[in-house]
Amino acid sequence: MSMSKIIRTTADVMFMFIMVFGFYIVLHGHLTPGGGFQGGAVIATAFILLIVAHHMDDFLGWFKKDSFQTCEMSGLVLFIGTALAAISLGYLFFMNFLSGKGGLFGQFVPFGINQGFMSTAGTIPIMNIAVGIEVLGGLTIIILYMTSGIQSPEEGK
């Protein structure tokens, strides 16, 4: 079920470039087109490239299935936790409590065309990272279940 040596070597090299590109799309979601869902789909494509090019047993030896479940669960918990943290500080639910305050992501942006500063936009980059991690875990788990479901459904492997 694995492919030839040229395809395996190319997939190993392209995996790193696709992951870096996907994380760039997720992190710069408030400055350029992109965001959480789009970048998460690109990173999941990198993992699916490894699943297609190698044996399933080799892939399960490098990445456990439990780590993808942890990724998906922690992404959703981080998203809801950021929304609930605004209640404990005295604001409403889902309020953007970091924008314009001067802290971690709190630089003030005046109206008009500028070249884009990284540490702006409050809780939006935190939510982008949370949704990116959740989509990455979710899509890879779906593909892992579908490719192992082709075998017979008795007990064992």
Partner 1 sequence: MIDNLPFLVVAITILLGLYTLLFRKDLIKMIMGISLIEAGVNLFLIALGYRWESIAPIFTGAPSLAMVMPTVQALTLTSIVIGVATLALLLSMVMIIYRHYHTTDVREVTKLQG
Partner 2 sequence: MRTVVAGITLVVLGVSLLYAAISIPFGYPAMSDMDDYFLAHGQEQTGANNIVTSVVFDYRGFDTLGEACVLFTAVSGVAILFRLRKKEEDYEYE
Binding site for partner 1 (CB under 8 A): 31-33, 35, 37, 112-116, 142, 145-146, 149-150, 153
Minimum CB separation from partner 2 for residue 1, in Å?
18
Asked if residues 130 and 35 have their Cβ atoms less than 8 Å apart, the reply is: no
The token pair at 118 is: 């990284």
Number of residues that bind partner 2 (CB under 8 A): 47
CB-nearer residue toward partner 1: 121 or 129: 121
Asked if residues 124 and 30 have their Cβ atoms less than 8 Å apart, the reply is: yes
What does 79 bind: partner 2, partner 1, none (CB cut-off 5 to 8 Å by kind)?
A: partner 2
What does 78 bind: partner 1, partner 2, none (CB cut-off 5 to 8 Å by kind)?
A: none
Residue 99: which residues within 8 A CB-CB, separation 6 or more? 105, 106, 120, 121, 122, 123
CB-nearer residue toward partner 1: 41 or 85: 41
* Cα→Cα distances 48→41, 44, 53, 82, 94, Å: 10, 6, 9, 30, 34
What's the DSSP call for residue 93? Answer: T
Please report, as ranges, the residues that interact with partner 2 according to CB under 8 A.
29-33, 35-36, 72, 76, 79-80, 83, 94, 96, 99-100, 105-112, 114, 116, 120-124, 127-128, 131, 134-135, 138, 141-142, 145-146, 148-149, 153-156
